[in-house]
Amino acid sequence: MNAIISASELAGDLAGARPPVLLDVRWQLSLAKAGGAPDFDGRAEYAAGHLPGAVFVDLDRELAAAPGRGGRHPLPDLAEFGAAMRRAGVSAGRPVVVYDGGQGWAAARAWWLLRWTGHPDVRVLDGGLPSWQGPLTTDTPDPAPGDFEPVAGAGGLLDADAAAALARSGVLFDARAGERYRGEVEPIDRVGGHIPGAVSAPTTENVAPDGRFLPAEELRARFEALGAVEGTEVGVYCGSGVSAAHEVLALAVAGIPAALYVGSWSEWSSDPARPVAVGPDPR
Residues designated as active site? 238
Please tell me the distance from the alpha carbon of residue 262 to that of residue 282, in angstroms, as a whole number: 20
Please tell me the distance from the alpha carbon of residue 101 to that of residue 108, in angstroms, as a whole number: 12
- Which ranges constitute the DSSP H helices of 135-240? 160-169, 178-181, 216-225
Find, among 275, 276, 206, the residue nearest to 243 by Cα: 206
Phi (first) and psi of residue 99, to 5 degrees? -140, 160
Alpha carbons within 13 angstroms on the beta-carbon side of residue 92 total: 9
Whether residue 117 contacts residue 62, with contact meaning beta carbons closer than 8 Å, is answered with no
Our measurement of the distance from residue 216's CA atom to the centroid of its chain's CA atoms, rounded to an integer in Å, reads: 18
Contacts of 237 (CB under 8 A, 6+ apart): 158, 163, 172, 173, 174, 175, 195, 198, 244, 260, 261, 263, 264, 265, 268
Signed CA dihedral, 203, 208, 212, 216: sign only: negative
Helices 243-253 and 216-225 sit at what angle, rounded to 10 degrees? Answer: 110
Please tell me the distance from the alpha carbon of residue 178 to that of residue 254, in angstroms, as a whole number: 22
Signed CA dihedral, 211, 215, 220, 225: sign only: negative
Q: What distance, in Å, lies between the first and last C-alpha atoms of the chain? A: 37
The length of the chain, given as a count of residues:
283
